[in-house]
Amino acid sequence: MIKCLIIDDNPMARLAIRNFIQEVDFLSLSGECEDAVQAMNWLQKEPIELLFLDVEMPQMTGLELLESLTHRPLVILITSKTEYAVQAYNLEVIDYIVKPIKLARFLKAVNRAKDFLRPTQKEADGYLFARIDNVLTRLDFDQILYVETMGDYIRIATPQKKYMVHLTLKALLEKLPPDRFLRIHRSYVVALDKIDSFADNMVSIQKNVLAVSETYRAHLLEKLNALN
C-alpha cells in the first residue's frame, strides 16, 4: 500500500480526492490537511510516500511547501490553474492535474506514481532510483550490501558510501528482488550474495557485522542452503 496525504484548503476538493483514493486498492489515505503549515507538521511526524497537493492555499502555497521540504514525498499537484506547470516540473512532481478532477485522469496519475514507487523487477532492470538530497539517484542492485532502518529513514550501504533515504524498510523491500535480498532483522535487509559468513546469529558483510533475529534465522538458513 502507498501511504498518501491530501493537502487542500477546499473541503469539496478533499472529498473528491478521498473518494477517488477509496477506489484504488494500492492507496492508503493517512490523513488530510487544510493548509501547508498543517501538512508540514504532519510530515515531520509520519512518513508519507505520496502527496495530493493543491497550490493556492492560505499562509503558504503548495509550491512553497515543496521548496521548504528537505525530503519530499512523491507529489501529484492538483490545481485549478495551468500556470504553475513550469514550477511543478522544476520541483519534480510526478504529475499535474487540473481541476475539476476526473476519475480517469486521477487513475492515470496514481498509476504513474505506483510505477515509480513500486517498480517490478523487470521494470527496474537491476536498479532502482532513490531520492537522495532531493535528487533522484540510481542505485544498482549489485552495489547494495545491506539496508538499515533509521527511524523514518533507511540507510543503504554500498562499497563506496552509505545513502540516507526517506523511506520505510517495508516499502524498499517491495522494490527489491526477493531472490537477491532478505530481511534478517526488524532493522536489516541484506544482499544474500554479499554475505561473507554467518555465525552466532550474526552475518558479516565486508567487515560489517549485522544481527540476525530468531524470527528470520530459519528463512536465512534456507536461503543460504539454496545458494550452496
Q: What is the pLDDT of residues 32-57, one digit of tens each?
A: 999 999 999 999 888 899 999 999 99
Q: How much is the pLDDT for 121?
A: 42
CA 7, CA 14: separation in Å to the nearest integer? 8
Say whether both 167 and 93 belong to one domain: no
| Mean pLDDT lowest among 15-29, 75-89, 179-193 | 75-89
Same domain, 45 and 67: yes
Residues 11 and 110 reside in one and the same domain: yes
Residue after which a domain boundary falls, among 89, 117, 145: 117
Instruction: Please give the tally of structural domains in the chain.
Output: 2
The mean-pLDDT minimum among 33-42, 61-70, 108-117, 125-134 falls in 125-134
Across 107-111, 131-135, 170-174, which has the greatest mean pLDDT?
107-111
What range defines the domain where residue 159 resides? 123-227
Q: Which domain-ending residue is among 90, 117, 144?
A: 117
Residues 108 and 129 in one domain: no
Share of the chain above pLDDT 70, in %: 95
Split at pLDDT 50, 70, 90, the class of 119 is low
Q: What are phi and psi of 111, to 5 degrees?
A: -70, -35
Answer yes or no: do 19 and 106 share one domain.
Answer: yes
| Domain shared by 167 and 143, yes or no | yes
Q: Do 9 and 100 sit in the same domain of this protein? A: yes
81 class by beta-carbon count within 10 Å (0-12 exposed, 13-18 middle, 19+ buried): exposed
Of the three residues 117, 135, 156, the one that is the final residue of a domain is 117
pLDDT at 227 over 60: no
Could you tell me if 132 and 222 lie in one domain? Answer: yes
Q: How far apart are the C-alpha atoms of 122 and 137, rounded to whole Å?
A: 19
Alpha helices in the chain (DSSP H): 11-21, 36-45, 62-68, 85-90, 103-117, 121-124, 169-173, 214-227
Say whether both 106 and 148 belong to one domain. no
Residue 189 neighbours by CB distance under 10 Å? 23
